[in-house]
Structure 1
Amino acid sequence: MTGRRRTLSIHARLFLGFACALAACAALMVAIIYVGMRFLPTYGFMDTVVVDPSQVTDVAPGRRLPASGEHPDITTKEDVWNTVLAVSAGGVLVVGALGLGVGWFVSKRLLAPLGTINEAARKAAEGNLGERIAATGPPDELHQLADTFDEMLDRLEESFAAHRRFAANASHELLTPLATTRAALQVAGDAPSREELAELLPMLRETNERGIRIVHALLDLASAQNAAFEPAPVDLSALLGAAVAERSAQASSYGIELSTEIEPGRTVSGNAVLLRQLTLNLLDNALTHNAPGGSAHIRLSQTDRTVLEVSNTGPHVTKTQLARLFEPFYRAEERVASARKGHGLGLAIVRSVTAAHHGTLHATANPAGGLTIRVELPR
Structure 2
Amino acid sequence: MRLTIKARLQLVLNLVIVTTSLLAAAGMVQLVFWFEDTLFYNHLQSDLTDHIHEHQAQPQPLVLPMTDTTYYKLAKNDQQLLPEAFRGYPQGGHEVLLGNKAYNLLVRDESGWIHVLVQDQSEFERYELIMFTGIGLGVLLIWWLGFVLSRRLSLQILKPMASLAQEVAHLPEQPGSHLTGHYPDDETGQLARIFDRYVLRVNELLLREQQFSANASHELRTCMMVIRGALDMLAESEPSSQIARQLQRIDGALGQMQQQTELFLQLSRTPDSQAGNNALSSLVELAKAQLADWQPLAASRGLSLRLNTVEPVPLVPTSMMVAVLNNLLRNAIQHTLTGSIEVDVTPDYLRVSDTGRGISDELQAKVVERGVSVANPQGFGLGLAIVARICEHQGWRLCLSSSAADGTHASGTQVTVYFTSAADDSC
Is the pair's TM-score, using the shorter chain for normalization, greater than 0.5? no
Q: Hey, which of these two has a bigger chunk of strand by percent?
A: 2
TM band (smaller chain): 0.3 to 0.5
